[in-house]
Structure 1
Amino acid sequence: MTVDAARLAALISPLRRALLSSVRERENLPDIPDAQIEVIRRLPRGTVASPSALADALGLSRSAISNLLATMERDGLIVRRPGAADRRQVEVIASPAALDYFDRYDSAAAAFVGQAAATLTADERAAIDAALPALERLGDALSSTRHDRGHPRPEATP
């Protein structure tokens, strides 16, 4: 059996947009660009990273991550501070406000998806549940393929 790649690709973006816009509206959350979301997702509570580590993880150039972090710092989403071990180094942490946004988003998104899934048949819900591990691996494969080929991630996606 083959995957209908075109159908899957055409479905992913509208699902994502519907989820994001609905949850943002319900929770009165700010519209944070994708690149900033990726940075914050790499800085869960209690995590510290260097700008170069973030650039490598996201496939971004040093100048792109520097500009991105400057904007995020200005918007109150991250804090840059001197390194604990070497004060010449910079550490990046997610701000309490950013962590709150993501906690609220994740909770509301799970509730929203749960409500939508409740409208499906039991067989449809079981099929989605069974597909989750494969979809997670597909996401990993898409990310690693893009990173392996040296294609940086986009700054933001409409």
Structure 2
Amino acid sequence: MDTATEFGRLIGPLRRAVLRTRRAAELPDLPEAQIELLRALAEAGPLSPRQAAHRLRLAPSTISNLVRTMTAAGLVERKPSATDLRTVHLIATPTALEMLHTYDRTSTAALHRALANLAPDNREAIERALPALGELLTALEADS
């Protein structure tokens, strides 16, 4: 078995299975890129569009499109900088932060249930693999 091939085949279905848990809970269907931007704003606080693009490794035009859509939906606010009127900072709204918390709580609960149904050896193997998966993510980001 080629590990890279097998892992690559599992990533998409795993991600979609987690996304389905959000839909089953009747949560709004936000694209993953919007969730990533909300998560970045929740973790880092206000960010300029340039900072958000750098942090998420997205093109500035992609951030611009996300912000336009998310501002219209009431998920992100654009606040002028107090020190530079040419700069704005992006802020997740309280509604968006609550939605993100609900998404995470729902996904985490579904993962807890699924992990509890695994054989103990497999559950422990996944737990042991988490640091390696974090390192893999870092390596993939460095490679791009």
Native 8 Å contact 1:23 1:112 kept in 2: no
* Deviation for aligned residue 1:60: 2.9
Partners of 1:80 and 1:93 within 8 A in 2: yes
The total of aligned residue pairs comes to 144
Q: Distance in 1 between matches of 2:44 and 2:7?
A: 36
Distance in 1 of aligned mates of 2:142 and 2:76: 26
Runs of 4+ in 1 over 3 A off after TM superposition: none
CA distance in 2, matches of 1:33, 1:39: 10
1:123 to 121, 124, 133: 121
CA distance in 1, matches of 2:128, 2:111: 16
1: CA distance, partners of 2:11 / 2:62:
26
Across the aligned residues of Structure 1 and Structure 2, the Cα RMSD in angstroms comes to 1.8
- Provide the TM-score with structure 1 as the length reference: 0.83
Instruction: Indicate how the Cα distance of structure 1 residues 85 and 3 shifts in structure 2: closer, same or farther if over 3 A, else same.
Output: farther
Contact 1:45/1:99, CA 8 A, preserved across alignment = no
SS in 1 for 2:117: coil
Q: Give % identity.
A: 44
In the TM superposition, residue 135 of structure 1 has moved relative to its aligned partner by 0.8
Q: CA deviation at 1:64?
A: 2.8
Taking the TM superposition and a 5 Å limit, the aligned residue runs for 1:3-152 are 4-26=3-25, 28-44=26-42, 47-146=45-144
Cα separation, partners in 2 of 1:61 and 1:109, compared to 1, 3 Å: closer
CA contact (8 A) 2:21 2:106 kept: no
Asked if the contact 2:70/2:76 (under 8 Å) is kept, the reply is yes
| Cα separation, 2, equivalents of 1:43 and 1:23 | 21
Matched residue type, 2:65: N
Larger RCO (alpha carbons 8 Å, 6+ apart):
1
Cα deviations across residues 43-77 of structure 1 (Å, max 9, x unaligned)? 01670000111122233333332222111101111
Tell me the TM-score normalised to structure 2 length. Answer: 0.90
Say if 1:9 and 1:45 are closer, same or farther in 2 by CA, change over 3 A: closer
**Letter paired with 1:127:** A
Moved more, 77-86 or 137-146: 137-146
Q: Distance in 2 between matches of 1:128 and 1:62?
A: 35
- The residue identity in structure 2 corresponding to 1:37 is I
Paired amino acid for 1:8:
F
